[in-house]
Structures are given as structure tokens and as C-alpha cells.
Amino acid sequence: MKQARVLTEQEQKRLLAVIAQGRHAARNRMAVTLSYLAGLRVGEIAALTWGDLLESNGAVRDQIRLSAEITKGGHSRVVFVNDRLRKEIERYLGTLGGSVKAERPLLVTQKRTAFSANTLCQLMGQLYAQAGLDGATSHSGRRWFITKLAHSGVSPKVIMTLAGHKHLTTTQRYIEVNDELMRAAVEIL
């Protein structure tokens, strides 16, 4: 099975530029950002509510707790919110007027209902296609997240846990390797 393409930083910028020009730009940016900066699966993103991301006082949580019901493996896990993701969540919240109900879905369709995983997957595919990024799918952000952590020297066990994988071999399949990385590796010798 062919894997989703891992985008370069320049391609990510192009994707965000295309998103910024389209309808529902803030919502679509949030969906893509959660994929890249939190490594979330499309089904996990679709299932998020504002209560998952915000404290009762409206502050962005330091952690997003994913319940077993919404994860692929059926095991709950914690997703850590870094500064970049926090700013993106605050940005998105600002486009909505800054006040939302905890039970409200984070992302809503044009009909103001929660996305299904399938519908969000289709939307992300359309966004990648509009940006001319062949081979990119709703899983591209997740692969980028795992690859970026691996290339930054993060422990494989930590990456596996953050990704919600049970086996290291699953995590290893996500990591993109290219000539530049291999060249840098042998230069260490």
C-alpha cells in the first residue's frame, strides 16, 4: 500500500496559502494544523470538541486527552499541545468570536454539524489537490509529525507513544527517509 506523501516545509506553506484563499479558511487551517502539529488521525480531529481543547476559563489546555472511543486502537492517549499549536488554536478561536460551548464540535461543516472522519478526509484530500500536492492525503500531516520527531533525535519509544502505536514497527513505517538524511548520517562517521 502506497503511503501518504510527507510534505516539505515549502509545500506546507503552499498548502496554507491555498487554504487561506478558500472558503472556511480558519476551519480548514485548524484541521490541517492538528494533523501536522499534534499528529492526530483524521477521525480523531473530526471527533474533537471545544471542551477537549479548552479549560473552563477559556484557556487552551496543555494536553488533549483522546478517549478510547475516538482513537484507532481503542486506547485513550494524551496529546501534548506545543506553543505553535496553542497559537493556532487561539487564532482559530478568535475567528469564532472567542466564546464557544464545550460540547460544540471543534470543526463544523457548512450545515453546522460535526464532520465525520470520511467527510473530513475528503475535504483534506481536496485541499491537497487544490495546492497541487499529488500523493498527499489526510495522513500526510501525521507522517510529517512522526518523521520530524524522528529526524530531530526524539526517542523511538516517545514517538511511538505520542503516535498512539502499540508497536515500534508501526511507527517506523511512518518515517520518511531521503538521500539528504542518509548523506548526513554517513557524514557523522
In tens, the pLDDT along 37-79 reads 999 999 999 999 999 999 999 999 999 999 989 998 888 899 9
Nearest residue to 48 via CA among 129, 108, 130: 108
CATH number of 9-142: 1.10.443.10
Which residues make Cβ contacts (< 8 Å) with residue 6, sequence separation at least 6?
140, 143, 144, 147, 176
Q: What is the pTM of this model?
A: 0.91
Residue 11's CB is within 10 A of a number of other CB atoms, namely 18
Residue 34 in this model has a pLDDT that exceeds 90: yes
What cell numbers appear for 43 in the block? 477521525
Sign for the CA dihedral angle at 55, 61, 64, 65 comes to negative
Residue 124 in this model has a pLDDT that exceeds 80: yes
Q: What is the pLDDT of residue 1?
A: 60
Q: What is the pLDDT of residue 39?
A: 95
- Could you tell me the residue ranges of all domains in the chain? 9-142
